[in-house]
Structure 1
Amino acid sequence: MSGLVVTNPPRADREAVDAFAGYGVATIHEAQGRTGLLGSRLRPVWSSGRIAGSAVTVTVAPGDNTTIGVAVEQCGDGDVLVVVPTSPCEMGYVGDLLATSLQVRGVRGLVIESGVRDVADLEAMRFPVWSTCISAEGTTKGVLGDVNVPIAIGGQLVSPGDVIVADRDGVVVVPRLRARQVLAASKERDEKEARSRARYAAGEIALDVNGMRPLLERAGIRYVQHESKVEEQIP
């Protein structure tokens, strides 16, 4: 039965959530063991940079955005609204009006496995959105989904209060209880990449920076000298 609204679920530590905005989605994904990356169909509808926030999760009925309106009341400063239809639907669930309501409450962005509309207005508002499509087709009202329950979106499980980080590369989820651990791992990986970048800038190549030569030898790589005399004999 739909219509469940869980109020005030625990959220990841705010200091940790805010710190995630300093690291890219790719870095965080790698730092937590190449996990948590939502499907590549979720793309920014405009070049909004990077956000990090606590997930408020929503399920919506196909073609009905009633529950998004319900979820707005459960959102607060620093949250990211994460929405998935209970069946595939590509209608425009959110436009500038709902986005205005979310933005006023301090919501940092929207991730939705469906459509949005009023994209020019969303960009003018500077309200970040990641969606699977853009559609001018509006929705109806009257059928309920759920708010702040675990959802499956983009091939990943997202629970209320998990950390959502999104940038031009996509969207990644960090489980709430692992936030501090993954943040430390992201910092370590970012520092390692900075050292590698300096070596690349100095002229080294990946085979040496990443210590790949022993791996290539075990894989059986072979180098042969080009025989120019043989080529000269070809008519």
Structure 2
Amino acid sequence: MDPNTPPRNALEIADTLLGAFATAPTAVISDNLDRLPGMVGLRPFHRMERQMVGRALTVRVPAGDNLYIHKALGIARPGDVVVIDAGGATDRAVIGGIMMEIAQSRQLSGYVIDGAIRDLRDISSNDFPVYARGVIHRGPYKHGPGAMNVPVTVGGQVVQPGDIVVGDEDGVVSFSPAIAEDLLAAVRAQEAREEEIIRSIRAGTYTNAYTKS
């Protein structure tokens, strides 16, 4: 596979539809994915001021090694979310403040890492999205091997190259662009239902549909 031409899902959606997920809560997205997909065990380490949304540039690395993350930054395109399968290891960081700055300068949308980070002071004071499993002072090796634009497993979820990745305070979900249009419609419909429930609660007219008589 030519690393200079990252593969994209043939059903890659328009940027306008991708942008619509920037206001879609991950909890509601999860509800409309049967509450099954989703990355477990990761949390945000950045200053939470905006939602993360973008297309997955996937990377697989050995535990504690970031050579192929550097390679991925060399081919990443604006809007990409770098999704890193580092085996869930938290005894050695695979990115830190410098790699956050590189990604931000190249207008990427964030990092999602099944592994650890370091330079927490720099990352936590910045609003560039960084989701990971843990933090540690120990730095990475740069020996390889690794792979880019291959299916990866992050937080128990398989992520394909080009999948849509959304992250907020509650966590991270991903899904195929092939279902994005229908999923967005379902998300908006649920948001409308929930807004109506909130209005009825505040008006004192709410009836709990799950309460048996």
| Fold match by TM threshold 0.5 | yes
| Residue 203 (structure 1) shift | 2.1
Query: What is the CA–CA distance in structure 2 between the aligned matches of 1:153 and 1:168, rounded to whole Å?
Result: 18
1:149/1:6 CA distance change after superposition, 3 Å: farther
Residues 151-184 of structure 1: CA deviation (Å, up to 9, x unaligned): 1111111001111111110111121211111111
2:45 is equivalent to residue 45 of structure 1: yes
Query: What is the CA–CA distance in structure 1 between the aligned matches of 2:156 and 2:17, rounded to whole Å?
Result: 24
For 1:171, what is the secondary structure of its paired residue? Answer: strand
2:15 is equivalent to residue 8 of structure 1: no
For 2:101, what is the secondary structure of its paired residue? Answer: helix
Runs of 4+ displaced beyond 3 Å: 3-6, 86-90
Give the conservation status (yes or no) of the 8 Å contact 2:57–2:83. yes
2:178 is equivalent to residue 180 of structure 1: no
1:170/1:86 CA distance change after superposition, 3 Å: closer
Give the conservation status (yes or no) of the 8 Å contact 2:114–2:133. yes
1:60 equivalent in structure 2: 61
Q: Residue type matched to 1:65 in 2?
A: N
Query: Where do residues 92-103 of structure 1 align in structure 2 (5 Å cutoff)?
Result: 92-103=93-104
Unaligned residue ranges in structure 2 (runs of 5+): none
Give the conservation status (yes or no) of the 8 Å contact 2:88–2:114. no
For 2:104, what is the secondary structure of its paired residue? Answer: helix
Query: What is the CA–CA distance in structure 1 between the aligned matches of 2:118 and 2:32, rounded to whole Å?
Result: 34
| Residue 5 (structure 1) shift | 3.7
Query: What is the CA–CA distance in structure 2 between the aligned matches of 1:43 and 1:68, rounded to whole Å?
Result: 20
Query: What is the CA–CA distance in structure 1 between the aligned matches of 2:182 and 2:162, rounded to whole Å?
Result: 16
Query: What is the CA–CA distance in structure 1 between the aligned matches of 2:165 and 2:73, rounded to whole Å?
Result: 17
| Residue 86 (structure 1) shift | 4.4
Residues 37-88 of structure 1: CA deviation (Å, up to 9, x unaligned): 111x100113424211111111011221100000102211111111012474
Query: What is the CA–CA distance in structure 2 between the aligned matches of 1:8 and 1:141, rounded to whole Å?
Result: 22
Q: How many residues align?
A: 209
Query: What is the CA–CA distance in structure 2 between the aligned matches of 1:47 and 1:126, rounded to whole Å?
Result: 5
Q: Residue type matched to 1:194 in 2?
A: E
Unaligned residue ranges in structure 1 (runs of 5+): 218-235
| Residue 27 (structure 1) shift | 0.6
| Residue 115 (structure 1) shift | 0.5
Query: Where do residues 23-38 of structure 1 align in structure 2 (5 Å cutoff)?
Result: 23-38=24-39
Percent identical pairs in the alignment equals 30
Query: What is the CA–CA distance in structure 1 between the aligned matches of 2:146 and 2:170, rounded to whole Å?
Result: 29
Query: What is the CA–CA distance in structure 1 between the aligned matches of 2:103 and 2:61, rounded to whole Å?
Result: 17
**Superposition RMSD on alpha carbons, in Å?**
1.9
Query: What is the CA–CA distance in structure 2 between the aligned matches of 1:87 and 1:166, rounded to whole Å?
Result: 18
Max Rg structure: 1
Q: TM-score, with normalisation over the residues of structure 2?
A: 0.90
Q: Residue type matched to 1:127 in 2?
A: F
1:212 equivalent in structure 2: 210
Query: What is the CA–CA distance in structure 1 between the aligned matches of 2:140 and 2:100, rounded to whole Å?
Result: 15
1:90 equivalent in structure 2: 91
Give the conservation status (yes or no) of the 8 Å contact 1:59–1:147. yes
